[in-house]
Structure 1
C-alpha cells in the first residue's frame, strides 16, 4: 500500500529540488557551445533539420558523426528544429532530462529499498534515504559535465532510458498478469532507446539479470544454475551489441582506436586503475578546484610508475572482494559496488578513448552516493547530527555546483580554467587561443597557440590556428610556414590546404592557390568554399565555363550559399558579354 504522507513529502521535496536545480543551472542557460559541441552540433549538417518528418529524423539519426547514437542525434536535431543555434533550448532540455533522471532514480531506490528485509537498517527510513540520495546526486558538482555540456546529453539520455528500463522490469516483477507482459515490453523498448543513446548502457541486460538474482531470487545458486541459458543469451546479446558498435572484428577496431593516441592499450589499462580511484575521490569530495574537463592526467608506464598505480589496483581488488564476500549479508552494498565498477567498464577499460572525463561518473555515481548515505545513516546515531551534516553537504554541493557552472557559462572562463588546471597539456592552450582570437585578442591568442606548439610541436590544430592568426595579422610568409607544419603533421588536413590557397591568392600566386584548393577538394569532396574559390580563380583567368561548373557545384553542396549564387550570375553575365 502506498504511504500517502511519504508520497506527498516526496512530491514537495522534488518541487523544491527542481527549483534548486534550475537556480544552480540558470547561469548556463545562455552558455555557448563548447568543445565537442563543435563536431557533433555546429559542424554536423545532418542535425540541421528544417522539416519534421521521418526522412529528416532518419538522416539526423544515422548520418551524424556519432551514428551509433541515433536517439541522441534525433534529440539534438529536434532542438535545432525548434531553436536553431540558440543554446537556451538545448540547455533547458538537458536540465529537464537531469531532473527526470532524479525522479527515476528516486523511484528505483525506493522500490529497491522496499524489497529489502525489514531487519535491514535501511528499510526503516527508505523514503528519506532514497530522497537524500537523489537530492545529493542531482546537485552533485560532478553532474555539471553531463548537464551544462550540451553534447553530453548523450550521456544523461542514455542513463535515463537505462533507469526506465530497469525500473519497468522491477515493476513488472511486482505486477500481476497480464499487465506484467506490457511492462516487460516497455522495458525492452526503453533498453533499445538506451542503447541508441550511448554505448555505455550496454550492460543493462546484465544488471537486469543481476537484480533478479540479488533481490528476487535472494542469491539462490540453484536458481543461477537453472538459468544458464539466459546467462548465455546475455553474453550473446552483449557480443552482438559489441559487433554492432565495433564492427565484425571488435579487437581490430579497439587496436585501431589507439592509432591517434599517445598511449598504448597496456598504459591505458594501468592508468584507468588510478582514474577509477580518482572518480571515487571526486564523488566523495567534488571541490571545484579538483574538477576540470580536459585533464592532464599522467599515464601509468608500469604498476610502479607511478607507485599509485599498484596502490589503486590493491584498493580496487579489496573493494571488489569485499563486495563479493558481503553479498549474502548485505545485498544492497554488494550490488552498489558492482554497479559502480561494471558501469565504468566500457569507457574505462580497453577502448582507446580519452583517459578521463567526469561525465563518465554520471550513472555509476548513483549507487555510490546511496552507499555513502547508508554508511552515514548507520554511523551517526543522533537525528540532529544527521540533519546538520546532510544540510551542510547540501549547502557545499550547491555552492560548488553554482561555482562550477560559472565556468561553464562562459567560453573564455571555461578554457582559462582548463589552461590553469592542465597547464602542461597542449589542447587547452590551443582552444583558449581560439576563443581569444574570436574575441579579437590576437596577440594573446598567438601566445597560447605558440604555447600549445611548445608543448606538442606536432599539434596540427595549433599550427593551423597560429597560421590563421598570423594570416589575419598580415604575416603571410609566417602563416604559410605553420599551415605547412599542420599538413606535415596531418596530411589529410583539408582546411589547412584551403587556407594555404587563400594565402597564395593574397600573395598573387594563382597557380599555387589553385593547387591547394584542388587538394582540399580531393581530401574533402563536399568542400563548397574550396569549389567557390577555385571557381573565382578560373573566372579571373577567363575560363568562365570551368568557373561556372565550380560555382554550381558549390551551390549544390551548400544551397544557402549566397556567394556561390552571386558568382553564378556574374559568371553568366560575363559569358554573355563575351559572346
Structure 2
C-alpha cells in the first residue's frame, strides 16, 4: 500500500491507537496541582460581566497568569469539582491535535533533508514515513502521560499547540519561496509573533518558540535560511534573536540573586544546577527504555546533588551533558541531526531545568522538548540505505513503539482510581514523602487508621524534617485516640525549625477544624494556636508571604471562634500585609458591620492599600469600585441603624 496515498489513514489509525492507550485514565480523579489551580473556578458563581471574568482571571498571583489556559478551564466550569472526565477528555483531544501538528511539522521539514533521494516516489514515501514515525514516537511515549492526564497541565498542552502552530506558520514563510515577500514575512511574523504570544499566555515556556526555530534553522534548514531575501533575513533575525537573548540574559540575571539562597526549597540554585543534569539523563532513560511503574507525578524524593561527587553520578552527568552541548554546537554542519536532537531538547529544558528555583523533577517538562529528538531519529532512520540495515532499524523501531504504547497503557490503567494510583506511586517512589502521604490519605479514608499511621511513621523516619508528615502523624494519632500532650510538645518544638513544606502549611486547617470539633481531647483550640504560632515563628514560614498569610488567615478563624473581634481583625490585617487579597478588607468590614461598628468598617474599605494587590488583579478588576459599592451599602445600614435607635428613643 503506497504510504503517500494513505498517509491520512495511517495518521487516523495512530490517533485511534493513542486514544485507546490513554482511555483507561479518562475516569481518573483530580490530582495534585489540579486543586489549587482549578480552585479559581470557585471564585465566581457565573460570568455575567467583564468584572466576573476579571475576578476569575486575576486569581493567579503572578503576571500574566496564563489566561489562555484559564479561559479553557472556565468553559468547563460546570464540571468542577465533581466531574474530571470532561476536563481530561479535552486534554486528550488537545494531545491528539498536537500529534497531528507534530506530523505536519515533520512532514514540512523532512523533504529538505531527504531531497537528494533519486526517486520522487521514494522521496515522498520516506517523508510520510518519517512524519508518521516521529508523531507515533512522540504521541505514545509514556513520559508524556502525566502531562496529558494531569488536568492542570492543559497549560502545557495548549502552550505546545501554539508552539507547533507557530513553527508551522514560520516554516511556511521560510520555505514557500513562491509566495510574495510580504506574505512570507506575514507568515513568519504570525508564527514567531502572534503564536508565540498565545503560547506564552498558556504557559511561560511558550517564549522558547523562537529558540526552537533557531535550532531548526541552524541544523537541517541552513540552506533555506541562506536563500532568504535580505528583508526576510532581517525580519527573521528580529523575530528570533531578541527573544532568545532576553531568555538567556534573564536566566543569568537571576543567578547572582538566587545563588546560595534556599528560599522555600531544600536546595540552593547551585545544587539545582548540579542535580538537573542527572535528572535530564533520568528523563532520557525513561524515554528510550520504557518500563512500567516509573512514571508519575511524585518525584520529590529524588536525591539532590550537594557537591560534584555527592552522589557520584553528578560529575559524570555534568561532563557528559556539557560534552554533548559542545559537540552539538561544534557539529552543526557535520552532524546536523545530532545537533538538532541535543539543542532542541536542552533548549526546551532551559527555563524549567536551570536557574529558576522550581521543583526539581516533573515528567511533563519533556512534552515539547521531546519533539526534536523524535524528529532527528525519524530523519536518521529514513536516510538509511535500502537493505538489511534499514529493515533492522524498522523492526527495532516498531518494537520500541509497541513497548512505548504498551507501557503507556499499563501506566494509564493506574489512573483508574485514587487507590491504584496511591499504591503504585508509593511502591515505586518509596523516598517520596508526597507519594507516601497520598497512600496514607487513601488508607485513612478507608478507615485503615493503623495502616495509615504505619505508612506515615515509616516515611517520617526517612524525612524527619518534613512538616506535612509530622502534622499528618498528629492528625491520625488524634483519630486513633492515642495523641498525648507530649506528642504535641514534640511537634511544637519541631515546627519551630522544620523545613518549609506547603503541605505542612495547608495541614493546619484540618487540624484547626479537628480542634474546634472537640474530637481529640489532647488537641484543644489553645494547643492548635500554639502549633500555628510555632510555624509563624519559623523563619522558613514567617519569611514566605503566602505561607505567613495563610497561617494568619487560619489564626483569624481561631479568633472568631473565641469571640475575639480585635484579634480577628488584627490577623486579617496581617494576612493582607503578607499576601494581599482584595477580599480581606471586605472580610474585615463584614466583621465590623456585624458588631455595629459601621464607621470603622467604612474606614477599612476607604483606606485599603490597592497598590499592594498583585499587578494582574489591579489590571483586570476595579476593586475601588467594588469597595465604593460596599461603602454605600454600609452607609445605608448605618442610616437605618441610626433611625431605628432614634425611633426607640422617641
The 8 Å contact of residues 480 and 500 in structure 1, kept in 2 or not, is answered as no
Who is 1:310 aligned against? 315
Partner deviation per Cα, 1:233-283 (whole Å, 9 max, x = no partner): 75543566789x99x974476459731222222222122122222222222
Kindly tell me: are residues 402 and 454 of structure 1, through their superposed partners in 2, closer, same or farther at Cα, counting changes over 3 Å? Answer: same
Who is 2:419 aligned against? 412
Kindly tell me: are residues 46 and 390 of structure 1, through their superposed partners in 2, closer, same or farther at Cα, counting changes over 3 Å? Answer: same
Kindly tell me: are residues 438 and 219 of structure 1, through their superposed partners in 2, closer, same or farther at Cα, counting changes over 3 Å? Answer: same
What is the CA distance between 1:370 and its match in structure 2? 2.6
- Most deviating of 102-111 and 305-314: 305-314
Partner deviation per Cα, 1:168-205 (whole Å, 9 max, x = no partner): 11112344235435434532221111111222232212
1:359 is the counterpart of 2:364: yes
Who is 2:110 aligned against? 113
1:297 to 302, 326, 340: 302
Write the distance in 2 (CA, Å) between the matches of 1:411 and 1:485: 34
Who is 1:133 aligned against? 134
What is the CA distance between 1:500 and its match in structure 2? 4.4
What is the CA distance between 1:6 and its match in structure 2? 5.4
TM superposition score normalised by structure 2: 0.72
What is the CA distance between 1:53 and its match in structure 2? 5.3
The 8 Å contact of residues 174 and 224 in structure 2, kept in 1 or not, is answered as no
- Most deviating of 142-151 and 391-400: 391-400
1:462 to 450, 469, 486: 469
1:484 to 492, 514, 526: 492
Write the distance in 2 (CA, Å) between the matches of 1:387 and 1:104: 23
Who is 1:434 aligned against? 441
1:371 is the counterpart of 2:368: no
Write the distance in 2 (CA, Å) between the matches of 1:508 and 1:429: 26
Match runs of 1:37-76 below 5 Å: 37-41=34-38, 43-44=39-40, 50-51=46-47, 54-64=50-60, 67=63, 68-76=65-73
Who is 1:264 aligned against? 268
Kindly tell me: are residues 476 and 408 of structure 1, through their superposed partners in 2, closer, same or farther at Cα, counting changes over 3 Å? Answer: same
Over the aligned positions, Cα root-mean-square deviation in angstroms equals 4.3
- Most deviating of 413-422 and 56-65: 56-65
Write the distance in 1 (CA, Å) between the matches of 2:183 and 2:13: 34
Write the distance in 2 (CA, Å) between the matches of 1:395 and 1:142: 15
What is the CA distance between 1:342 and its match in structure 2? 1.0
Who is 1:503 aligned against? 515
The 8 Å contact of residues 501 and 515 in structure 1, kept in 2 or not, is answered as no
Match runs of 1:131-210 below 5 Å: 131-175=132-176, 176-177=179-180, 178-187=182-191, 188-210=193-215
Write the distance in 1 (CA, Å) between the matches of 2:392 and 2:110: 23
1:337 to 335, 342, 345: 342
Kindly tell me: are residues 95 and 309 of structure 1, through their superposed partners in 2, closer, same or farther at Cα, counting changes over 3 Å? Answer: same
Match of 1:259, SS state, is coil
Structure of greater relative contact order (alpha carbons < 8 Å, 6+ residues apart): 2
What is the CA distance between 1:373 and its match in structure 2? 3.1
The 8 Å contact of residues 170 and 189 in structure 2, kept in 1 or not, is answered as no
1:347 to 348, 352, 362: 352
Write the distance in 2 (CA, Å) between the matches of 1:477 and 1:11: 68
2:85 to 77, 85, 88: 88
Who is 2:563 aligned against? 538
The 8 Å contact of residues 271 and 307 in structure 2, kept in 1 or not, is answered as yes
What is the CA distance between 1:97 and its match in structure 2? 1.0
Match of 1:203, SS state, is helix
Who is 2:452 aligned against? 445
Write the distance in 2 (CA, Å) between the matches of 1:307 and 1:518: 40
Kindly tell me: are residues 325 and 505 of structure 1, through their superposed partners in 2, closer, same or farther at Cα, counting changes over 3 Å? Answer: closer
Match of 1:345, SS state, is coil
Kindly tell me: are residues 250 and 228 of structure 1, through their superposed partners in 2, closer, same or farther at Cα, counting changes over 3 Å? Answer: farther
Kindly tell me: are residues 196 and 439 of structure 1, through their superposed partners in 2, closer, same or farther at Cα, counting changes over 3 Å? Answer: farther
TM superposition score normalised by structure 1: 0.80
Kindly tell me: are residues 189 and 440 of structure 1, through their superposed partners in 2, closer, same or farther at Cα, counting changes over 3 Å? Answer: farther
Kindly tell me: are residues 285 and 513 of structure 1, through their superposed partners in 2, closer, same or farther at Cα, counting changes over 3 Å? Answer: closer
Partner deviation per Cα, 1:105-161 (whole Å, 9 max, x = no partner): 111111011223622699561111111110121111111111112222222221111
Partner deviation per Cα, 1:372-397 (whole Å, 9 max, x = no partner): 33444428834654554343223222
Match of 2:76, SS state, is helix
The 8 Å contact of residues 464 and 486 in structure 1, kept in 2 or not, is answered as no
Kindly tell me: are residues 70 and 525 of structure 1, through their superposed partners in 2, closer, same or farther at Cα, counting changes over 3 Å? Answer: farther
Match of 1:471, SS state, is helix
Aligned length, in residue pairs: 544
Write the distance in 1 (CA, Å) between the matches of 2:524 and 2:334: 79
Kindly tell me: are residues 47 and 211 of structure 1, through their superposed partners in 2, closer, same or farther at Cα, counting changes over 3 Å? Answer: farther
